[in-house]
């Protein structure tokens, strides 16, 4: 059986210049990827927060239909139940939400989704945004 990467007589491996070129290429890739990674993570949190709002709005509408035109008072107390058959939401929301007279979702604490102060509630657009 032949050895993997068997060196011929007189060959000792990679030269220093070859190794420096590889390290330089990896450094350039890291310099491009790392700053963009932080942006993607922040965008993902905002998207998750707005998806949660859409799920809570849908659950609130189902609650409204089931309870003779009464909007829920709170997402945690009225929409979420540990027993799946009694719950309008499959998971407990990260934030608690209140509802106005028209059923629009309003976060109980609009200064940070899940305690993250970089994500704030935009009442004009009615969604979470990056601070």
Residue pLDDT, tens place only, 49-77: 999 999 999 999 999 999 998 888 888 88
Number of domains making up the chain:
1
Percent with pLDDT over 70 in the chain:
92
- Establish if 46 belongs to a structural domain: yes
| 20 occurs within a structural domain | no
Residue 111's domain comprises 26-130
Determine, yes or no, domain membership for 113.
yes
Which of the residue ranges 4-18, 43-57, 107-121 would you say has the lowest mean pLDDT? 4-18
Q: What is the 3-state secondary structure (H, E, C) of 11-77?
A: CCCCCHHHHHHHHHHHHHHHHHHHHHHHHHHHHHHHHHHHHHHHHHHHHHHHHHHHCCCCCCCCHHH
Residue 77 lies in a domain: yes
Residue 98 lies in a domain: yes
21 falls within a domain: no
- Choose the most confident range, by mean pLDDT, from 31-40, 52-61, 71-80, 112-121: 52-61
pLDDT at position 5, please?
61
């Amino acid at each position: 059986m032949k050895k993997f990467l068997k060196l011929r007589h007189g060959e000792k491996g990679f030269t220093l210049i070859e190794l420096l070129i590889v390290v330089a290429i990896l450094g350039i890739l890291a310099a491009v990827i790392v700053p963009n990674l932080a942006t993607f993570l922040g965008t993902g949190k905002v998207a998750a927060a707005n998806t949660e709002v859409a799920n809570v709005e849908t659950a609130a509408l189902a609650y409204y239909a089931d309870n003779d035109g009464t909007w829920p008072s709170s997402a945690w107390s009225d929409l979420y139940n540990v027993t799946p058959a009694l719950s309008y939401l499959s998971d407990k929301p990260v934030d608690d939400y209140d509802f106005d007279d028209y059923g629009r979702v309003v976060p109980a604490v609009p200064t940070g989704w899940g305690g993250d102060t970089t994500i704030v509630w935009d009442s004009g657009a009615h969604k979470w945004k990056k601070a």
